[in-house]
Amino acid sequence: MFKIAVIPGDGIGTEVTSQAIRILKKASRILNEQFEFVELKAGGIAVDTFSKPLPDETLKAALSSDAVLLGAVGGPKWDSLPYELKPEQALLGLRKSLELYANIRPVIMFDALTESSSLKVDVVRGIDIVVVRELTGGIYFGKPAGIRHLADGTRRGVNTMTYTEPEIERIAHTAFKLAKTRKKSSRSPAERDGAKGAHEIPSKGSFGFAGKVTSVDKANILHTSMLWREVVNEVHKSHYNDIQLDHMYVDNAAMQLVRNPKQFDVILTENMFGDILSDEASMLTGSIGMLPSASLGEKHALYEPVHGSAPDIAGKGLANPIASILSAAMLLEYSIKQKELAKKIFRAVKCVLNEGYRTSDIAYDGCTAVPTEKMGQLIEQAFTM
Ligand code: IPM
Ligand code: MG
């Protein structure tokens, strides 16, 4: 029995999560193993029901589950609430309490979607990048933080970016181990779309082909980044000499991602840079609706699409469930150790896209536009052993 805490959240979170559950239920039948789904509230819906974005019951259930599957939180309805009540606090609270310091965001271009990207086909064909984002430190959590009144009556907003050596060390290990499992130069398109060495995080050792880590910082300006660069270099030198390590300033990285994204393999970066760069990277693949993520710690794991709650399209059947479905695949791989099954889901998505089915975010002329639920059903049908 495997216990999955399900937190659909707000907006399209609920719609996409039900499609991911459809796939997990099929996986449970295939594996002949029971999954217990415990549905919980967090985000705006929890503010409406319990007057807090992350109710104790939700946190408790998340802490005692084997994995958490999350949809998305937030929406204009709750935007003007005080800081502690904002739906986004649910996410930050979960990340911090579950100590989910490693956020893994694979950015993969499906061949069928090259036309959906806003960049030229040649630039994006075959993209296979993973963003490794530090998730429990940096400016998101640093103290002091807040808005204070100054003596002259004006206000001053403060956030603090901090990183300790151990925080940098552990995320650097995550990125290097991940790079080890990737055999970039030799990967065939089928492996690229299906096998996804990227999903195999704690490394069992190199496959014999060096991967590459690009550590992104702002070490020409920020002290946290100077320390970041030093520690990443130390971890590299002492453990991962077979992996290529490059450093890049974040402004340049943002530019290189659209200039020549295929130069990247594993991008290692701190919390806020990772937030921004992963949204940018998502557009390479055609839509942010395609990007899954895993947030991993030593004891817990949470899986969620990178996209937000998209209140403008919520409830209309327009949402793309693929990011959530691929997040479920990551859950199967990392938390249930069913890598083969995860690959099968990946291939099912690929197959449905190759057949020309699209949700509206990735649709163009000549494709069959389908609503959220239909996309989920098609992927479920294509997902066979
Ligand atoms: C993300 C989101 C969150 C973040 C928000 C919703 C708090 O943008 O997961 O990328 O900034 O981390
Ligand atoms: Mg973000």
At residue 246, φ and ψ (nearest 5 deg) are: -120, 155
Mind listing the domains of the chain with CATH numbers?
A: 1-100+297-385 (3.40.718.10), 104-290 (3.40.718.10)
Residue 71 CA to ligand 2 centre (angstroms): 13
Please, which pLDDT band fits residue 192 given cuts at 50, 70 and 90?
Answer: very low
Instruction: Please give the distance, rounded to the nearest whole angstrom, from the Cα atom of residue 280 to the centre of ligand 2.
Output: 10
- Exposure on the CB side of residue 363, measured as CA atoms within 13 A: 17
Task: Please give the model's pTM, rounded to 2 decimal places.
Answer: 0.92
pLDDT bracket for residue 368 (50, 70, 90): very high
Please state, in angstroms and rounded to a whole number, the distance separating the CA atoms of residues 293 and 153: 43
**pLDDT 10s digits, 46-76:** 999 999 999 999 999 999 999 999 999 999 9
Q: Each residue of 113-126: pLDDT tens digit?
A: 999 899 999 999 99
Compute the distance from residue 375 Cα to the ligand 2 centre, in Å. Answer: 24
Pocket of ligand 1 (CB under 6 A): 74, 88, 91, 275, 306, 308
Nearest bound ligand to the CA of residue 303: 1
Res 300 pLDDT > 60: yes
- Positive or negative, the CA dihedral 374, 375, 378, 380 is negative
- Report yes or no: 295 and 301 within 8 Å, Cβ to Cβ: yes
* Per-residue confidence (pLDDT) for residue 366, from 0 to 100: 84
**335-349 mean pLDDT:** 96
CA distance 346 to 343: 5
Strand partners, 301: 296
Q: Is the pLDDT of residue 184 over 60?
A: no
Q: Select from 366, 361, 352 the least CA-distant residue to 23.
A: 352
Question: Which amino acid belongs to residue 327?
Answer: S
Tell me how far the alpha carbon of residue 72 lies from the centroid of ligand 1, in angstroms: 9
**How many angstroms separate the first and last alpha carbons of the chain?**
21
Mean pLDDT throughout 5-33? 98
Q: Which residue has the tokens 């779309």?
A: 193
Residue 14 contacts residue 73 (beta carbons within 8 Å): no
Residue 385, pLDDT score: 74
Q: What is the mean pLDDT of residues 96-110?
A: 97
How does residue 196 score in pLDDT terms, banded at 50, 70 and 90?
Answer: very low
| Predicted local distance difference test score (pLDDT) of residue 209 | 54
Q: Which atom of ligand 1 sits closest to the CA of residue 74?
A: 6
What gap in Å lies between CA 359 and CA 324, rounded to an integer?
13
Distance CA 67, CA 5 (A): 6
Mean predicted confidence (pLDDT) in 344-358: 97
Q: Which residues participate in catalysis according to the annotation?
A: 140, 218, 251, 275, 279
Indicate which ligand has the atom closest to the C-alpha of 73. Answer: 1
Q: Which atom of ligand 1 is nearest to the CA of 279?
A: 10
pLDDT above 50 for 181 = yes
Index of the ligand 1 atom closest to the CA of residue 275: 10
Distance (Å, whole) CA 43 – CA 64: 19
Percent of the chain scoring above 90 in pLDDT = 90
CB atoms within 10 A of CB 25: 13
pLDDT in tens, 200-254: 333 323 334 579 999 999 999 999 999 999 999 999 999 999 999 999 999 999 9
Distance between CA atoms of residues 4 and 341, nearest Å: 17
Among protein residues, the one with the nearest Cα to ligand 1's atom 8 is 275
